[in-house]
Structure 1
Amino acid sequence: MRILGMISGTSHDGIDVALVGFDPAYDGGTLNGAIEHTAATPYPAGLRTRLVKALPPAPTTLAEVCELDTLIGQSFAQAAATTIEQTGPVDLIVSHGQTVFHWVDGTRALGTLQIGQPAWIAERTGTPVLSDIRVRDITAGGQGAPLVSLLDVLLLAGHPGTAAALNLGGIANMTVIRDDHAPVAYDIGPANALIDAVVTSRGLNDRGFDVDGRIAASGTIDETLLAVLLEDPYYRLPAPKTTGKEWFHLPHVEAAMTRSGTHPADADLVATLTELTVRTVAHEVTTSGAALLVTSGGGCHNPVLMNGLRRALPAVTLRLSDDYGAPADAKEAIAFALIGWHTAHGLPGTIPSATGAHASRVLGTLTPGSRPLPPLAALAPRKLTLSGRPLRER
């Protein structure tokens, strides 16, 4: 079964796709998936600007949300059509869309909104589309995240001792897998979200992020400001917990500077925010007792961030998810393809101990294509192996 997973994450910079061919002969045990294609398609500059301007805490209108829903859906449709033109027909498309709001009250997730109308994808490609992936977990009492924990648990199945999988996107999330305990997963806090917000607002790089960590490398950490940032109450909430740019945004940084009485230069501010990610992540990894940390996401390309983690975690082995068959830049898209496989076979796509739900649920809403998705059934896999190292297109 060939499934195309698609997502735009909390960096809001474009669409990641991953085409995974799952073994049709699977009959229980280890599920084999071949990664046939991965790619990243940036949003048109004007669309990304409109999207960022509409995000919390900025006010917006239902008209703007409606237009963005259509425009993002059309962008996803174009990315899907391009992949299918290059690789051939697929059986199912799983579109996470673009999260624009994740409604959290303390440690409870009450709702979530992803836009990018899936009907545009189904109309353009003729393929059934699974979307609105997160909300069913929330209705079962879960956080609706991190859903990548399903992939993490299957990829690291059988690893002795304690291992953790870390994704460094806009937000840092982590899945902890122990031999004798149920998996735990949660959002740690900002990975790139605050860095990107400062880089964009101050025009430090046209690409909207700290390319190769060059800005942070040229700055000095402001320990006074860092201490104030670390006081944020989110870090002390128990897991499972989720967060996003509803909380960690530019005004969050500006308020911290006001409280600290410091206003560091641009490079110093970026260096401080990068160190914030290092310290919060390192604290959680140390607390988990993990001896292995498998990393993915855009933050893996920031040497200041990664070297900071290596210094802070000298006893922990750091490896990229590429070593487990999941390219670091496409891991979340692969995860949604895997969730699609589970839904297509009538299997739950969540791990209750990871999301906090009271029970696992089959995920997503199906938009029909020009041909139906055949009824399928399977035993839940206990392990996943991934093969294939396709070149990533940008």
Structure 2
Amino acid sequence: MRVIGLMSGTSHDAVDAAAADLVLEGDSLLLTPLGMVSAPYPEKLRSALTAALPPASTTMRDVCRLDTRIGQAFAALATRADRELCDGRADLIVSHGQTVYHWVEQGRVHGTLQIGSPSWIAEATGRPVVSDLRTRDVAAGGQGAPLVSVVDVMWLRGRPGVPAALNLGGIANLTVAGAAGDPVAFDTSPANALVDAAAHALTDGRLEYDRDGALAARGRVDTALLRALLDEPYYAEPPPKTTGKELFHWPYLHTFLTGRDRLPVEDVVATVTHLTARTVADAVRAAGATEVIASGGGTRNPTLMSMLRTALHGIPLRTSDDLGLPSEAKEAYAFAVLGYLTAHGLAGTVPACTGARRPSVLGSITPGSGGLRLPEPAATAPVRLRTVPA
């Protein structure tokens, strides 16, 4: 099956589309990467989305407009991906949508909302679309995240020691899959969320993020600010747990900067970058991981990667590129796999990772122009994910 995975993460700067050929062979799902295309959100759309996200208030009119415009942005990129990566022969499109709210109270997730109506994608491409993948896990008592943990568990199976897959998006999440015992997965902390917020706010909007980690590289970590930030109760909560920009946003960070008005922007960015490295490394060691395989936008920040490597104190750090999955596209490929599982009637969650009562077949399916023709349900679920060169 030829599948396109669509993803926009908590950094909400762009939409990524990754295409893959997926074939079930014995107990292994073989993934052949076909490439990735990406497109930034139009500036007007990104500004409207940023203005509507927590802790800001919004209106149902704005939610409707964002749902439509994001759906149209996803549809445009899906059409391009089908044409450029799949020769117009994609069988299925899987859309994560854009997370706008993750409802968490006292450690329990009550709901999650991803917008970007799949009807626009199905109408533009003529292909069936799997979407709304997180809600079913939440309905089954899970956190709804990290949802790619089932893919990580299959992908890491068979590696020596206790490997961990780390995604450095707006939020950092970790999947640890050891040889013995159940795997564990959870959001560790902010990754780019506070770095982006500081870079944008403290440069009066001149920068959207810390390109190449340049600000952090010029700054010095402020130990007093770091200690205050490390007192955040979320870090001490046991997994499974999830968080998002509902917690880690500019007003949150700004409260810690009160009385520190003279702190240079470079020092603030260096400090929150170090915060990411420190909290991720603490989570890795607590989980007993013996290697870390990183992916996501944060891998393009050499200052963050250097700080993380130092904080890991000798635990090997590599990127998913070394294992055959491009680090920038790994999440989009993971959602392609989740959609494949859904289309074949297979569960897409690991209860030990999300905290759900049971595994669930994820998402809703929007038919394409030719109606809905799903493949025969798979007799057995794959236990391994192997990448195969194109």
State the TM bucket, normalised to the shorter chain: over 0.9
Match of 1:93 in 2: 93
Match of 1:34 in 2: 32
Q: TM-score, normalised by structure 1?
A: 0.95
Match of 1:278 in 2: 277
| 1:381 and 2:370 correspond | no
Displacement of 1:388 in angstroms is 3.4
SS at 2:30's partner residue? strand
Deviations 1:184-220 (A, max 9, x none): 0000010000111121223377551111100001111
SS at 1:178's partner residue? coil
Contact 2:294/2:318 (CA < 8 Å) preserved in 1? Answer: yes
RMSD (CA atoms): 1.2
SS at 1:181's partner residue? coil
Instruction: State the distance in 1 between where 2:339 and 2:126 align.
Output: 17
| 1:368 and 2:359 correspond | no
Instruction: State the distance in 2 between where 1:128 and 1:18 align.
Output: 16
1:61 to 59, 62, 67: 59
Deviations 1:47-106 (A, max 9, x none): 111100110001111100100000000000000011112232211100011000000012
Alignment of 1:1-394 (within 5 A): 1-23=1-23, 26-86=24-84, 87=86, 88-203=88-203, 206=206, 208-258=208-258, 261-263=259-261, 264-371=263-370, 372-378=372-378, 379-388=380-389
Instruction: State the distance in 1 between where 2:205 and 2:238 align.
Output: 36
- Aligned residue pairs total 385
Contact 2:217/2:270 (CA < 8 Å) preserved in 1? Answer: yes
Amino acid at match of 1:4: I
SS at 2:182's partner residue? strand
Deviations 1:245-298 (A, max 9, x none): 00000011011223xx32321111101110110110111111112111000011
Instruction: State the distance in 1 between where 2:202 and 2:89 align.
Output: 43
Contact 1:28/1:380 (CA < 8 Å) preserved in 2? Answer: no
SS at 1:119's partner residue? helix
Instruction: State the distance in 1 between where 2:45 and 2:177 align.
Output: 39
**Cα distance change on mapping 1:198 and 1:163 into 2, 3 Å:** same
Instruction: State the distance in 1 between where 2:36 and 2:349 align.
Output: 24
Displacement of 1:161 in angstroms is 2.0
**Cα distance change on mapping 1:27 and 1:326 into 2, 3 Å:** closer
Match of 1:392 in 2: none
Instruction: State the distance in 2 between where 1:310 and 1:117 align.
Output: 40
Amino acid at match of 1:89: R
Instruction: State the distance in 2 between where 1:295 and 1:364 align.
Output: 26
Amino acid at match of 2:312: L
Deviations 1:151-209 (A, max 9, x none): 21111111122111110000000001111111100000100001111212233775511
Amino acid at match of 2:106: G
Percent of aligned positions that are identical = 52
Q: TM-score, normalised by structure 2?
A: 0.96
In the alignment, structure 2 segments of 5+ residues that lack a partner are none
Give runs of ≥4 in structure 1 deviating > 6 Å. none
Contact 2:344/2:374 (CA < 8 Å) preserved in 1? Answer: no
Instruction: State the distance in 1 between where 2:246 and 2:312 align.
Output: 29
Instruction: State the distance in 1 between where 2:362 and 2:45 align.
Output: 29
Displacement of 1:373 in angstroms is 2.8
